[in-house]
């Protein structure tokens, strides 16, 4: 095959996309479980369900309910109905995307299920933004969910099993986050925040095999994607008010900071982790922090979306991180590859500064 | 990207600097206390049966049954996972832990039905313990036979 000279004109460097018409985040919503509700972000969630089963019979059905609630809340905040969406892009941790697919069943719109482990949130945002900037959609619903009990029984041990988690373990967040992305040309200049860049990540495998230490497995992927993003955009960590990873936890965050230092980026002052924000680690026994698709989705929707919209935060890099393993792969002795997707989100104040 | 052996080694070195240390001493102490407490309860139950005139050998059976019942009950009440979280091996090793390891999956997989759910999955954790327990008993029995029985 002869490759003709061609140029993807929205591509920047090796692996970053710079959107020509940065899609607008019209609304975002977060629904959380009772334990997350007791955490430091409790008051910021759109809804805290009082019951981990959300009135359902199984943990899996409970996760579906959380996802539906989050999508409906995001739509409500944007003043839209499900039928207003062109596509829905959603991801979760369950086998065959059990939560997303079954939530998609009631939403009745064309549906893309995305598996990126806990990175599903930023991966879905990336794909939705590409759909809009590519001219394939006006409005796209994006969602991600996880459920502590549903994840435990699939990946680890039965819920009531009495065992000790090692200190590197993280706690899967029960909750769901959703957002509505719209074409900026449909909403005018005053609508912010917007997704300006996206950097999909490579799968990075440093040979970690411990499923109770996913922070270590994902940190190299997070560092790799952040480095690629900064290199491609010519930016430094200081160009962001905050670089926020999904669920590296305490140890994983420290490893990512050191790996970035090795390639010449000092991210220490601006790099934080959603997993370190969602629980009170002194009071709630979660060891290294929170994890799961809902970790970055709910923390972004509850904690940062409002700040970006109001201009209290100028520009942030959201980096959802995922560990690609299943009980089958780790029982067969495979190591755990990590992946990270980065999306740069800007408020109106950042755009004003650039105009000057 | 799959790291080379050398990259993996270097990463492990970097990783080790940041990993939280396992509180081995505290875990061992708690395992001793929790395991000891469970055993003390077991001894209390045994004394109860002994006091009712059941012989020392015969008392082992009902004592085990009571402890298994207690382990199962506490699992059902959602307490045993908390005991296990604190006590670690001290909670897993006694017969109450064995009961927990059967009742916990039974509760979990009941939702997938009585046969392919609960029935099939309740021994997912205890199954290997039974299998290798039997295998070990057989091996020990064989050694015992070779050493002592023929004489």
Task: Tell me the domains of chain A and their CATH numbers.
Answer: 11-184 (3.40.47.40), 192-348 (3.40.47.40)
CB pairs under 8 A between A and B: 105
The Cα A89–Cα A41 span in angstroms is 25
**pLDDT(A113) > 90:** yes
Out of A57, A251, A258, closest to residue B20 by CB: A251
A237-255, pLDDT tens digit by residue?
A: 999 999 999 999 999 999 9
Please, which residues bridge with residue A139 across strands?
A182
Q: Are A240 and A270 in contact (CB under 8 A)?
A: yes
Confidence at residue A171, expressed as pLDDT on a 0 to 100 scale:
96
State the pLDDT confidence band at A8, using cuts at 50, 70 and 90: confident
Q: How confident is the model at residue A9 (pLDDT cuts 50, 70, 90)?
A: confident
Q: Which of A154, A163, A258, A331 to mutate to test the interface with B (most CBs of B within 10 A)?
A: A163
What mean pLDDT do residues A16-32 have?
97
Residues A82-111: what's their mean pLDDT? 96
Handedness of CA B147, B149, B150, B151 (dihedral sign): positive
* B interface test, pick of A63, A162, A250, A340 with most B CB neighbours within 10 Å: A162
pLDDT at A7 over 80: no
pLDDT > 70? residue A355:
no
First-residue to last-residue Cα distance in chain B: 65
Mean pLDDT rounded to a whole number for chain A: 95
Q: Kindly write down the DSSP assignment for every residue of chain B, as one continuous string.
A: -BPPHHHHHHHHHHHHHHSPPP-HHHHHHHHHHHHHHHHHHHHHHHHHHHHTT--HHHHHHHHHHHHHHHHHHHHHTT-HHHHHHHHTHHHHSSHHHHHHHHHHHHHHHGGG-IIIIIIHHTTTTHHHHHHHHHHHHHHHHHHHHHHHTT-
What mean pLDDT do residues B107-116 have? 95
Q: ipTM for the complex?
A: 0.90
The pLDDT of residue A349 is 80
- Answer whether B15 touches A (CB < 8 Å): yes
Q: Do A158 and B84 touch (CB under 8 A)?
A: no
Per-residue confidence (pLDDT) for residue A81, from 0 to 100: 96
Q: Does A164 reach chain B within 8 Å, measured CB to CB? A: yes
Residue A160, min C-alpha distance to chain B (Å): 5
Q: What is the pLDDT of residues A272-327, one digit of tens each?
A: 999 999 999 999 999 999 999 999 999 999 999 999 999 999 999 999 999 999 99
In angstroms, what separates the C-alpha of B75 from chain A's closest C-alpha?
Answer: 6
* A:85-124 residues touching chain B, CB 8 A cutoff: none
CB contacts of A157 in chain B (<8 Å) are: 104, 125
Contact assignment for A285 to B108 by CB distance below 8 Å: no
Token readout for B60 is 């082992």
Burial category of B111 from C-beta neighbours within 10 Å (exposed 0-12, middle 13-18, buried 19 and up): middle
Mean pLDDT of chain B: 95
Cβ–Cβ below 8 Å for B1 and A224: yes
Q: Which residues from chain B sit within 8 angstroms of residue A153, using beta carbons?
A: 108
pLDDT, tens digit (0-9, with 9 covering 90-100), for B74-99:
999 999 999 999 999 999 999 999 99
pLDDT in tens, A205-238: 999 999 999 999 999 999 999 999 999 999 999 9
How does residue A2 score in pLDDT terms, banded at 50, 70 and 90?
confident
Q: Indicate yes or no: CB of B103 within 8 angstroms of CB of A166.
A: no
Which two structure tokens, joined as six digits, stand for A225?
A: 């994607």
Is A258's Cβ below 8 Å from some Cβ in B?
A: yes
Nearest CA distance, A316 vs chain B (angstrom): 26
Q: What is the pLDDT of residue A259?
A: 98
Quick one: pLDDT at residue B150?
A: 67
How close does chain B come to A198, measured CA to CA in Å?
Answer: 20
Beta bridge partners of A145: A176
């Amino acid at each position: 095959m002869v490759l003709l000279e061609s140029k993807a004109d929205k591509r920047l460097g090796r692996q970053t996309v710079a959107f020509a018409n940065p899609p607008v985040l019209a609304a975002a919503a977060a629904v959380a479980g009772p334990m997350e509700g007791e955490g430091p972000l409790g008051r910021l969630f759109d809804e805290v369900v009082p019951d981990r089963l959300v009135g359902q019979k199984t943990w899996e059905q409970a996760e579906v309910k959380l996802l539906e609630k989050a999508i409906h809340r995001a739509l409500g905040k944007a003043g839209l109905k499900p039928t207003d969406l062109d596509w829905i892009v959603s991801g979760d941790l369950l086998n065959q995307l059990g939560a997303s697919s079954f939530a998609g069943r009631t939403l009745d719109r064309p549906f893309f299920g995305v598996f990126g482990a806990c990175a599903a949130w930023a991966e879905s945002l990336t794909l939705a933004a590409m759909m809009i900037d590519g001219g394939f959609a006006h409005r796209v619903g994006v969602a991600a969910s996880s459920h502590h009990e549903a994840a435990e029984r699939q990946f680890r041990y039965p819920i009531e099993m009495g065992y000790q988690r090692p200190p590197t373990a993280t706690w899967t967040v029960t909750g769901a986050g959703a957002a509505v992305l719209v074409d900026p040309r449909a909403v005018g200049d005053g609508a912010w925040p917007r997704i300006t860049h996206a950097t999909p990540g490579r799968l990075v495998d440093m040979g970690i095999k411990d499923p109770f230490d996913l922070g270590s497995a994902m940190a190299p992927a997070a560092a790799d994607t952040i480095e690629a993003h900064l290199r491609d955009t010519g930016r430094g960590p200081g160009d962001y008010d905050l670089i926020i990873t999904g669920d590296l936890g305490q140890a994983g965050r420290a490893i990512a900071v050191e790996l970035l230092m090795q390639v010449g980026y000092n991210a220490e002052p601006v790099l934080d982790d959603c997993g370190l924000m969602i629980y009170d680690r002194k009071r709630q026994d979660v060891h290294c922090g929170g994890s799961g698709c809902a970790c970055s989705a709910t923390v972004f929707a509850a904690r940062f979306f409002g700040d970006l919209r109001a201009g209290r935060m100028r520009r942030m890099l959201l980096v959802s991180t995922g560990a690609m393993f299943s009980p089958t792969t780790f029982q067969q002795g495979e190591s755990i590859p990590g992946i990270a997707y980065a999306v740069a989100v800007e408020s109106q104040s950042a755009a004003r500064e650039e105009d000057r | 990207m799959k790291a080379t052996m050398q990259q993996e080694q270097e990463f492990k070195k970097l990783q080790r600097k940041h990993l939280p240390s396992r509180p081995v001493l505290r875990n061992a102490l708690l395992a001793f206390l929790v395991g000891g407490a469970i055993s003390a309860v077991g001894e209390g139950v045994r004394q109860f049966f002994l006091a009712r005139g059941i012989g020392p050998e015969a008392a082992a059976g009902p004592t085990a049954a009571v402890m298994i019942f207690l382990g199962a009950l506490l699992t059902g009440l959602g307490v045993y996972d908390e005991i296990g979280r604190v006590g670690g091996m001290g909670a897993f090793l006694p017969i109450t832990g064995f009961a927990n390891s059967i009742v916990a999956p039974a509760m979990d997989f009941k939702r997938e039905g009585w046969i392919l759910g609960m029935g099939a999955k309740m021994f997912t954790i205890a199954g290997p313990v039974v299998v290798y327990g039997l295998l070990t008993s057989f091996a020990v029995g064989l050694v015992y036979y070779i050493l002592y029985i023929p004489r």
